Amino acid sequence: MADYDVIIIGSGPGGYVCAIRCAQLGLRTACVEGRDALGGTCLNVGCIPSKALLHASHMLHEARENFSKMGLIGDAPSVNWNAMQSYKNDTIGQNTKGIEFLFKKNKIDWLKGWASIPAKGQVRVGEETHTTKNIVVASGSEPSTLPGIDIDERKVISSTGALALDTIPENLVIVGAGVIGLELGSVYHRLGSAVTVIEYLNNITPGMDGDIQKAFRKILERQGLTFIMGAAVQTADIVGNDVRVTYALRSGDEPESVAADNVLIATGRRPYTDGLGLTELNLEQDSQGRINVDDHWQTNIDGIYAIGDCINGPMLAHKAEDEGMAVAEHVAGKHGHVNYNVIPSVIYTHPEVASVGLTEENLKEHERSYKVGKFHFMGNGRAKANFAADGFVKLLADTETDRILGCHIIGPSAGDLIHEVCVAMEFGASAEDLALTCHAHPTYSEAVREAAFACGDGAIHS
Ligand code: NAI
């Protein structure tokens, strides 16, 4: 008999959630993790630590900018960077220990070390080979860099280095105006760095709704971030204590350069499958190194599945989690399912940005007939009281059926607000369904209802 029913490789949100669901469904489960702590990129060097720094730096901003407006008088706090790093590290520790506890509770074996797959039904960890009926590869992704640029995590950093710098840089150049660049750019800007973001395209946050892109950039510029758009970064060379970044404007001018204490390369991530032995196994991958899977996350080798950042689709923790649960159910003989049309994405800046479903650009491209309901937080009493009235909710619905097709929010707690629209979309709701649902007053979520009203007879407070 095999040692396990399922061995999961990687303990990030995809892997650990898959392991817990497998164990809950009665499968003998092990999870391989080579880091010292469970939780993968998300808990150790991604979502969780970045959110701790985003929260701390936002609190600083509130204290400096808004406390006195509310009659809270006194010296604004200053930054103790070491203490802030300790807070961030404590947050990581609490979360990773939490997963360890859940593994014990669910009787999941943590196989410590880096895994390889010598053959179907076998996983090698260190000197030991474990046998298993099923393998789930959830090995995640790693930061990608640009050709000719070496990340030393000291001066030229990825998101990993950016979470643990020795000091707050006076000048920070960020390459790439995607999610990572803008979240970490916001952190350092609020902590006092002069932040310049260099982006290849003409818009920030590729793939987001165009209205949101424009509003978001304006807000970030007003906050003090500088953008150099339409510029391809070519080199990042360490010169003395500085890094000099050269970039070519797409307009074809001579290369220009800018110097900074640190340069953050935030130009995307790539699947991480090093050392697994996939080539020897003849496990199919695409040209970008993603593992090919079918509708049930099954690879070309029977009994080997793959989920999360190492397969196709958005590199998002919650997408990986959903795939992890679905695969667990599939392996246990049930019917797992992921609705890829309703996967929210959130940028945790202030204001937050959140999006689900189709953008207006998608709808135009597919010549769909749609209506737009927009509501600005300026008309929301709670947002005004909280100095959080920047931004809007934009709801897109089918002209004929009124069915909700997408929602894009920039504003306070956008990352939480988006979920009522996700639920509505899962149930095939119309904008009118949202509008007819009573929303408590005064809440930010009234802005979502108002956007739904705006798809019909009109919003009340605009
Ligand atoms: P991204 O793909 O979101 O953005 C990268 C940006 O870099 C693009 O705008 C691209 O045009 C630009 N770029 C590429 N080459 C360039 C060059 N030579 N010069 C100038 N600009 C260049 O990638 P990012 O921000 O690194 O994020 C990686 C992944 O991690 C994404 O899939 C993201 O969804 C995920 N992530 C999600 C988070 C969230 O959901 N809150 C947080 C952090 C990461």
For residue range 296-354, what is the model confidence (pLDDT) as tens digits?
999 999 999 999 999 999 999 999 999 999 999 999 999 999 999 999 999 999 999 99
Task: Report pLDDT for 433.
Answer: 98
Best residue among 53, 182, 269 to mutate for probing ligand 1's pocket (most ligand atoms within 8 Å of CB) is 269
pLDDT band at 250 (very low <50, low <70, confident <90, very high): confident
Averaged confidence pLDDT in the chain: 97
Query: How many angstroms does the Cα of residue 176 sit away from the middle of ligand 1?
Result: 6
CA torsion sign for 147, 216, 229, 61 is: negative
Query: How many angstroms does the Cα of residue 183 sit away from the middle of ligand 1?
Result: 11
Nearest CA to ligand 1 atom 40: 346
- Give the residue numbers marked as catalytic: 441
Q: Is the CB of 348 under 6 A from ligand 1?
A: yes
C-alpha 120/C-alpha 111 separation (Å) is: 18
Run of H or E including 89: helix 81-105
Percentage of the chain exceeding pLDDT 70: 100
Q: Is the CB of 268 under 6 A from ligand 1?
A: yes
179 neighbors 347 (Cβ within 8 angstroms): yes
Query: How many angstroms does the Cα of residue 199 sit away from the middle of ligand 1?
Result: 10
Q: Is the CB of 227 under 6 A from ligand 1?
A: no
Nearest CA to ligand 1 atom 44: 180
- For residue 413, the tally of other CB atoms under 10 A from its CB is 19
pLDDT band at 159 (very low <50, low <70, confident <90, very high): very high
Pairing of strands 109-112, 29-33: parallel
418-438 per-position pLDDT tens digit? 999 999 999 999 999 999 999
In the chain, how many H helices and how many E strands?
14, 22
